[in-house]
Chains A and B, each alone.
Chain A
Amino acid sequence: MLMKMFAFEWRYFTKQPSFYVTSLIFFLLTFFATVSENVQIGGGGNVLYNGPFSIAQTLLIMGLFAMFLVVNFVASTATRNDSSKMSELLYSKPINPLSYQLGRFLGSFAIVATVFAFVPLGILIGSLLGGLVGWIDPERLGATNLSHYFTAYFYLSLPSLFVLSCFFYAVAIKFRSMMAVYLSAVGLFILYTISGQLLNEPEYRTMSALLDPFALNTFGEVTRYWTMFDKNNSPIELSGMLLENRLLWLGISVVIMALFGGFRSKVRLSQVKVKKQSKKALKKADAQLALQTEKIPQLLDNNISTKSAGVQSGAHMRMRILFEIKQVIFSAPFLVLAVLTIFMLVAPLVDPQGMFGTPNWPLTQNMVELIAGSTGLLMMIVLAYYSAEIVWRERNSGMGDIVDSMPVNNITFWLSKIIAISLVLVLLYVCGVAVTVTNQWLLGYNNLDLSQYVVRLGYLGLIPLIFTAVLAFFLQVISPNKYIGMMLFVLFIISSITLSNFGFSHNMFQFSSAPQVPYSDINGYGSFLESNHWYMLYWGGVTLVLASLTYALWHRGPAQKLKTRIKKVSYYLAAPGKVTIALGLVLFVGAGSVIHYNTRVVNEFMISDDREDLQAAYEKKYVEYLNATIPTVTKTHAKVDIFPEERRIEAVAELTLTNTSNQAIDKFLVAKPQHTQQWNVEIDGGKLGEVDAKFDTAWFTFDQPLQPGETRQGKLTAIRDNNGFTDGNNDFNLVKNGTFINNFELFPVFGYQASYQLTDRHDRRKHELAPLQRANKLEDERFYNESFFGNGVGFIDFEATISTSKEQFAIAPGYLQSEKVEGNRKIYHYKMDAPIVNFYSVMSAKLANKKQQYKGIDIEVYYHETHEMNVDRMIESVKDSIDYFTEHFGPYQHKQMRIIEFPGYRSFAQSFANTVPYSEKIGFISDLRDPENIDPAYYVTAHEVAHQWWGHQVGAANVQGNAIISESLSQYSALMVMEKKYGKDKIRKFLKYELDRYLRGRSVEAIEEMPLFRSENQQYIHYRKGSVVMMALKDRFGEARVNASLKGFLEDFKYQSTPYPTTIDLMAYITEGATQEEKSFVSNMFEHISLYDLKTTDVKVVAVVGKEDFYDVTLTIDAALKRADGQGKETEVEFVDLIDIGLFNADPEDLSAKDFVLYLAKHEIKTGSNEVTIRVQGKPTFAGVDPFVKYIDRDSADNIYRL
């Protein structure tokens, strides 16, 4: 019986198209993810495509989608007898429930397992074929090791599938309805995402790893800090947390099946609910009788021969639209979708993940992005599902023959259905907006800006979706059944993702897509909406053609072949349809021409492959001039006229140049700035040669070479212009409101442009380029006279004359000398009194401002009027920073500090001399009302102010580690200011984030992790590890000593450019007068990738006899220090160090606890097992080593021992 039922299920499903369709989809998804660079499921960074980590991760992520599989196969098995009306035939047979149900269950589970096996198969074939044909860089593939596929499939996927199958089978058996299963699937999904969100906090990670039926979090936890080496070599082991998780869920699923799988009860028909006879019903019966005897005889005489008045387009349309809407909206799937939409939004809103865990204010621009982002995939599912459901409604209900033979125009069916599906999309967005508006209201944010919801969701979001719905309908109509139609739609989605791989990345090739329309509160839609209109006209034309063809090909009658229907196209189109098609074609060609002209003729468009080729060719042609000497600017007067409305800048920079090298310069390379047609470089005694148009590069040749030390006058000119529109390559520097451009972007730049080089290792291999040297060697003294801004960038005397339109103000580094209005132009003259690095910004915007004077320093913040929330906090941060830095490092070189908000197209803050452009996406919008949270506005401001010292007063040589001097020291300085204001607990919280981000950063390193002092512009090192190391140093050496070292370093290298300092210099100041132990500590931190493994294995507490409330506490501590190489391979080294030992009466992880420290002091800890005994007053409940995680430790949870 069991085997028979098993075999029956197997045969049944292998005959269903859905088996093949889903298998194919699962196969194609992972296949394409493997062979194409645009689709990525697992992996990332330098992980081998067929390595154990990316196989496992891909399988886990696809496991989430497997929920649909299980519902489709297992649950439909459970309900099939009822749904196919077989139950009466079956249940009258003598059936043993156990073997019957179990056989069916296992049969359908086997199907699910088989379909899912196509996931690893897709990776396997993808990697084999991709490697063979050359789609994949062989370096991205390891040796094919089948055991990786098997372990991932059997350890990770199969148990998850089993859990899901048991759960959904039980639900289906219990409720005998697919709808119940769908609802529980959605419920499970919601529960999963929400708990995932809430359990994401570090303290709950273990719990979420254990409780995750999909094992996604479990795997994430196990591999959290895996380096590249681990990811490509460590097999997945069924042990520890993963084993516990799998056993737990196997147990749970067996229990579910045993209790609810229907094994114990007899198989029987579902109970029919019989309505009770009530008085009401009796009354009703009376009424029926009256009807029977009085009303009906009259009705029999009714005139039933009213003739059909023919096709009633208007009336038909009205009725069918209402009908379709009713069918769609008042159905369980729609409610499920609405609930799903709401919950998908609620989770990120309840626990918004801002900078350092601090939420942002719910700005409408972010809310819109949240809605669009979180519903993106859902909308595609909606389109796939509903287009099938709606188009085939007549066929599926069995009503098709009747309805189709009615005198109704095809367009009536089509239009009513397209309106219904559009309404679904609209309503889902409305649900989303309702949620976010409620959220805004709850959070007390009342700048709702509803028009943004309308324009960005209603126009930018919805119109392309509706076009896609028309396409989905078309695909359904040309298909013989809804499954093929759905498959075609899925293929369309896959193709739209992969098309750009084959060079079709222009939006004109991607159905219904247009270049992104970025939004900024400062600049609004800028000028980006216009291009969107053209693209929508273009796709609207295609859509009109598709729409007409769809209704002309509409299924009338039981599925007729496409060929037969094509014969009738002309008949059903009739004149209006043909006119529509013509109109569509006119739009398509017309708007298409406009787009082509603008994006390819007026502006440049290049697909990424061509761009790469060009980059490679540039490098090959010019790389020999990488370190060629170029003139250094020593004095600049920039004259910049900004025309914001036209998005145009006319700029001239009058320069004084010199040759700082020891050899004459007879020629040097010049690169043309972007978006600039007219430009020139004029220097006495030379001229700009022919422009190499391919690379936008020219040689400047001196007739009389520029001799070492010689000074000449020169002039740079550039007219930056934005004409027409582009296909996404937008000029975000020059916008209608919020222009922010620096001199390297505005003016022609000298020398070989290293930034043009390909950076991706695989791209470089493809173009036969040697691995990129990210930075010059630390020891290479040739670069000690070059600043970290690059060759030829030194300190300058600066002056700027900037004009802009009357409505805006313009700003550049320096002090305002004059401000005047001439006609409709405002003209500003700025002049700097101290030398600045030749790196300056020019900005123009219309903003509100707040100014304060503090100790003779003008503090100014320019901000968008709706972003005033944290302006005072920023000013406070500037004051605190200037105080602390002045006291500990030296005086501030300027008399002004200005913070200027710029549009959020870019999200960073950047420190120029006395000027800090600051993106609207960060800091300004942080919601600082909860004092428990870290204050990003205060922190970022302090960091940028610190750059006035680190970076602007003291530079760094253009060698490895330069960012340590500018960034890590700024991080340290900012943290010290923060510590003074917010206390040590906040810093601990901050450092936890920093440590986590460092460890995660190194786990996705693309080339090689460097030790701190050799950091090669690696952000996770110079920011994240920099914070951790500098604060550990401060903990070890004390604030005064560290600050004194830094002060000495600063004083000695202030404004010095021959040579600039390096990290070797910095470390010399730090280790000055240090003991051997301290030196080895610094060496471990700076010169090596050191990972401490500190662990409290045992704690014994013994009450001291005769002394009340005194205890002897003995801790056993295992200690190890591991050194990792650049790929993360570790070797152990001996160490001895002074490390914190702490005893507490509350969890030290709990940041809200107060006065919980019973004992905290440094003890000598060495490699191996250590025993430490401490006498303490008060009984400790927690004890541990390095309790506040000052050392870099991959598993800091085991530092603490809970008593």
Chain B
Amino acid sequence: MKTTTTRSVQTIVFVLIAVGLIALALGGYLTPLSRIVLNPILAAQTWISQRYQAVQELVNAPQDTARLQQENSQLRTENSQLQSQIIELRQQLAETSVLSALVDFARANPENRYQAAAVIARDPSPFLNYVIINRGSDDGLRRGMPVVTQQGLIGRVDAVTAGASRVMLITDPASSVNVILEPSRAEAVLSGQITGDLSLEMIPQDANVEPGDLVLTSGLGGGYPQNILIGQITSVRSREQDIFKSASIQTLVDFNQITIVLVITNFRPIDITPLLPGEAGP
């Protein structure tokens, strides 16, 4: 009985001491004491932890490097694949936009039948402005057919093989196109130059021609269909002693960057050479 009472008293005393310590701790009275006790423990923990981590890194590092190198090479491969995909998609996008513009052009001119072709090469001679396209007689192309883009006239087919054709650009020095100027309706001749520029010759002196006028094919001579846009006049040169005016023109077509063209396949050029003076036979 006595023993039981003593144990109860001890328990109560311990509880009271514990409650007292908790109350003191909550009140902040034990902070200096806990600091004194905990600091060495924390320092020891930190030291052991650092050494453990160092040893762990030493053991695991080679494996991690190998894994990281492998991951890195995989990511590099993926990156290069994605980069090439981006380039491919950009090319497809550019091609699609060109094709879309060409389709719009074909829809806007339903009277003509077209054959699309890609420009695959240029004439190796620097004196000639010709391009080679990847469509030929197997695709219905014939010599003399006009070649256009959505931005205007390019030239005409000069030579044809089964699978490819050579196109003389209107910028070639040998090219001459009969044109009509809008709104004046004056007729002139468009000539190519060795520099790839275009010039208008034989504009009548009395024609009211100004910069900004449109240049369209006239169809005269039978070499090209009527009313295909070529460009705009940029400047007019006129001297009183000359019989004709001349002008410079600016095309929308960049002749150095042509990639896809349309060949007008239902146009047959008319050869008027036998009708020209001096060309007819006896």
Pair from one complex: no
